[in-house]
Amino acid sequence: MDDTEARILQLVHNLKEVDHRDAALLELSKKRESVSNLALILWHTPGTVAVLLQEIIAIYPLLSPPALTGHASNRVCNALALLQCVASHPETRGPFLAAHLPLYLYPFLNTVSKTRPFEYLRLTSLGVIGALAKVDDPEVTSFLLSTEIIPLCLRIMETGSELSKTVATFIVQKILLDDSGLNYVCQTAERFYAVSTVLANMVNSLIEQPSGRLLKHIIRCYLRLSDNPRAREALRQCLPQSLRDTTFAQLLNEDQSTRRWLASLIYALGGDAALV
């Protein structure tokens, strides 16, 4: 065992010591990118995941009424960063889902306070869900669809910061890219219009506050929705006019892949893709 591994094992042990936990959470969260087997160590060291859950549950009383301090937010976000490490690893992702651990994060996504501690908490929680969603695993999509993640993401897409909106839209995009996700959203008119209305509101807000990366995810969501015949017919009526004209020409000129996706979307809806 080299010094680095010995240090990691000591830090993981320190998580169980109340007096050393805060410092151990901070140091381990900083090392999660550089230690390839950290997820395995965290998952297979008895009591460690329970400690991380303890940190998460401990701040539930601070959510309503909003009383979360910057330090408390930073501490629980360090615990969430370690859970993201576990969620990202191919050998621990399945057990992580089987234990329904993402559900412990949903109360954080359900908050509405716009203060910095709450925004950081929402963003870090979205990061854990995003780490699951990005792997293109049908098991992950099935799990997310069985929970309330889409309504939670839709609300953040309307009310969050630009970065939170971007991650939430990315999660919805990844769900839609799975056939079961697309079928779920397009199964009822209510679900489709819940998603398409939020997307349209976001497009309108981008006219005032442009964001190329956010526009990219929005257009990709629309393009995927157009793969469903009923959704495609509805989009012919409800796609924002600003996506059909030159409103976002400057942003599109900076990102050719987004431009191609929009051209494909307009073509699928029977419009003139040459105008994009």
209-246 residue pLDDT tens: 999 999 999 999 999 999 999 999 999 999 999 999 99
Global pTM?
0.95
* 135 closest CA partner among 91, 198, 104: 91
28-74 residue pLDDT tens: 999 998 999 999 999 999 999 999 999 999 999 999 999 999 999 99
Buried b (16+ CB within 10 A) or exposed e, 73-82: bbbbbbbbbb
φ, ψ at 82 (rounded to 5°): -70, -35
In the chain the domains, ranked by start, together with CATH numbers, are 1-124 (1.25.10.10), 135-275 (1.25.10.10)
